[in-house]
Amino acid sequence: MEFNLTPLRGLKMWRFSIFYQYLSPNRLRIRIYLNKLSSIYLAIIFICLYTNLYLFPKNKSYFLFSMLKDKKIVIIGGTTGIGLSAAKAFVREGAKVVLVGRNPESGQVAKELLGASAIVYSGDASHHQTAITAIDLCISEFGGFDGLYHVAGGSGRKFGDGPLHELTLEGWNVTFELNLTGLMLSNQAAVRKFKELGKGGTILNMSSVLGFSPSPKYFVTHAYAAAKSAVIGFTKSIAAYYAFDNIRVNLLAPALVETPMSQRASNDETILSFVKTKQPLDGGRNGKPEDLDGAAIYFMSDASSFTTGQTLYVDGGWEVSEGQY
């Protein structure tokens, strides 16, 4: 078989032109042969990548490097915002996902986006049976359960969360139910299932920069800050306890991200002007749901197999910036 290497001449090693004069005729022929082989290998790699990226544009998972190939993951709060963005990223990386959300309409949209790689289950994260059902669904439909990503949470402002002197008991209780009770229930269901299956697994929880870096002028919801701070302590505590079971538990802490929950702040020009200096990376802006995707993929993948009890701040510089009023 003969290969026409004319289009690939530019790929030949530069060393050949420099050292050919010092090589014997036999060694020169060997170097030319090896040079041609390297050109052929590069051509094959190029053809494979071209086929994957251009002939099948919907499958941009870079099949040689899929970090979540054959992983089965449950995402609590996976039908909108950060959770939906993660679901799309996980599927691109080869995973199967079960998404849990309260709104059936957003669930249907998510299902249409993700196709056969996703199952959507409508439920409230604060109900004790929701995560259990979602995990069982993951096992029955996809044949396994490898990871839990808990994104669900919410503001209790409309129930009475705010500065301490105005905070209502209902605001406190609802905020903790939304942000801590539901997370505890999903983590509990995941740990129980991992132990039942006799295998390790990974859990990724969601906190907020407001749990450790307050903003007293524009983000004054003290129950929310307390709940998100509690998530940090809870995550570290269970990470320590279940490390012996090879169960990893880690945490993401974003700053202001454009999601349905953040509409009050995202639509306020004064707050956005502050955020521009408080989150100065990339020109100063709100975070986007996809800004967290890379970190979520890492923690859901085997690349994080030696990582537990860690908090990663995906905050655009919030914690280390003063912010200008």
Give the residue carrying structure tokens 């099949």.
63
Task: Quote the CA–CA distance of 43 and 12 in Å, as a whole number.
Answer: 12
Taking alpha carbons only, the member of 75, 84, 74 closest to residue 258 is 84
Radius of gyration of the chain (CA): 25
Q: Give the CA-trace dihedral at 109, 113, 119, 121, to 10 degrees.
A: -20
The DSSP H or E segment spanning 128 is: helix 128-142
33 noted as active-site residue: no
Give the Å distances, CA to CA, from 217 to 265, 298, 303: 12, 34, 39
Angle made by CA atoms 230, 235, 238, in degrees to the nearest 5 = 120
Q: Which of 121, 149, 224, 313 is catalytic?
A: 224
CB atoms closer than 10 angstroms to residue 106: 19
Task: Quote the CA–CA distance of 25 and 305 in Å, as a whole number.
Answer: 52
- 299 within 8 A of 73, measured Cβ to Cβ: no
The DSSP H or E segment spanning 109 is: helix 104-114
Give the residue carrying structure tokens 């910036």.
321
Label the pairing between strands 96-101 and 118-122: parallel
Task: Quote the CA–CA distance of 166 and 163 in Å, as a whole number.
Answer: 6
Angle made by CA atoms 220, 223, 228, in degrees to the nearest 5 = 95
Contacts of 171 (CB under 8 A, 6+ apart): 156, 157, 159, 160, 161, 162, 223
Taking alpha carbons only, the member of 216, 230, 324 closest to residue 272 is 324
Please give the positions annotated as active site. Answer: 224
